[in-house]
Structure 1
Amino acid sequence: MNGPLRARVAAGPLVPGVLPALLVVAVSCAAFALIPLVPALIAVALAVVGAVIPSSLAAWGAALMIGFGQLAHPPAVDDWRSYAALAVVHLIHVLGGLAMVVDPRGTMQARVLRRPLLRWLWIQLPAQAVLAAVLLLPRVPVNDGGGFAVAAALCLCAAAVVVVRLASPRR
């Protein structure tokens, strides 16, 4: 019993623990294609600060700058930058949360990224559709506000049902 221990752990593919923080910086670099230069520089600088000090919440500052920078463009349903900015801001949020809980000096299983990224994808699908609907609304003539209010109330009720179902504990 005095010999060396020869235990092996089969954990699957491992990636550096700093990967989520580095991905925040990489994703925030998309800001250069989406928003004007000055807010993009601020967003990337905040992402770098968030990568170095994840508890500073600077990654969310980067997401905020990308959101504010998007306001420089007129909203249009056929402009791809609005949809890309929504996806980038949400992805920074997901990766920033991972960067806060993963030790950057260690390693993590690559499959740790799978569930948050799948959740990001499943949230992005309806979010992109809602964004398209919101961008399309100013083009739709509304003669009777009552019918529009009923449709909006039904959409709100459907969203509430989805949120309650997602928040309820699984059996």
Structure 2
Amino acid sequence: MSDQHQASASVSAARALPQLGAWVPGYVLRIAYAVTAAIAALLQFPLGSWLYLALLVALVGALRPRTLAPWFFLAMTGLSMLWAPPNTHSAAFFALLALGHLTHVFAARMLAVPARARLQLRSLARPLLHFAVIQATTQLLAVLVAVLLPGSSGASAVPLIGVIAALALLALAFVLITPLLRHERRDERR
């Protein structure tokens, strides 16, 4: 083979694109976020100004994911679940547990994937597996709380359990992040 043929073969090989596998446009994440957020809002908020505000915030979050709108929507939904006495015997309660988490998964992925990018479906496998594992344990815990607590709905202790769980999560995050921060400081000193 001549030098000219080898050079053209190496240029062709350098321009070859990697195989992506199955993919969808990046804006599919925004659509998925908007749909899950809208369903969560319709389940949680009564018809009126709070529902319209939640839907507007969800829409802004889908269009502008780098704003605080997706996180504000999640905070609105979570706080409204604490204000209204939860009915742990309704399907809406369990659906909101899953939808809130799924909305968070999509909101986090929207930050990493631009709307015009190609999103490999394979890249969603791990986050969705985490979602499934966390939801299995969360839903089981919610059923246990609903069954074991006195009263018709178990509503008296659910907000307290939520606050305790949030504090435990903050403590866990502190325990996990502190060594990383110490490691960064050591690297800066060198």
Same fold (TM over 0.5): yes
RMSD of aligned alpha carbons:
3.0
Unaligned runs of 5+ in 1: 141-151
Structure with bigger helix share is 2
| 2:66 partner SS | helix
- Partner residue in 2 for 1:87: 98
- 1:127 and 2:138 correspond: yes
Q: Which of 38, 41, 45 in structure 2 is aligned with 1:35?
A: 45
| Identity fraction in percent | 31
Distance in 2 (CA, whole Å) between partners of 1:98 and 1:47 is: 15
- Partner residue in 2 for 1:60: 71
| 2:20 partner SS | coil
Unaligned runs of 5+ in 2: 1-6, 153-160, 177-190
Q: Which of 24, 29, 32 in structure 1 is aligned with 2:33?
A: 24
Tell me whether 4-13 or 48-57 shows the greater mean CA deviation. Answer: 4-13
Return the offset for 1:82: 0.8
Q: 1:129-156 deviations in whole A, cap 9, x for unaligned? A: 222233341339xxxxxxxxxxx9xxx9
Distance in 2 (CA, whole Å) between partners of 1:111 and 1:78 is: 36
Distance in 1 (CA, whole Å) between partners of 2:92 and 2:34 is: 19
Distance in 1 (CA, whole Å) between partners of 2:46 and 2:81 is: 8
Q: Give the paired residue count.
A: 147
Q: 1:53-112 deviations in whole A, cap 9, x for unaligned? A: 111121122222233444575433321111111111111111100001112121121111
| 1:55 partner SS | coil
Q: TM-score, normalised by structure 2?
A: 0.65
- Partner residue in 2 for 1:99: 110
Distance in 2 (CA, whole Å) between partners of 1:85 and 1:119 is: 17
Q: TM-score, normalised by structure 1?
A: 0.71
For the Cα contact (< 8 Å) 1:24–1:96, is it kept in 2?
yes
Q: Which of 43, 50, 53 in structure 1 is aligned with 2:61?
A: 50
Tell me whether 47-56 or 88-97 shows the greater mean CA deviation. Answer: 47-56
Return the offset for 1:14: 1.4
**Structure 1 residues 44 and 92, CA, compared in 2 at 3 Å: closer, same or farther?**
same
| 1:15 partner SS | strand
Amino acid at match of 2:113: V
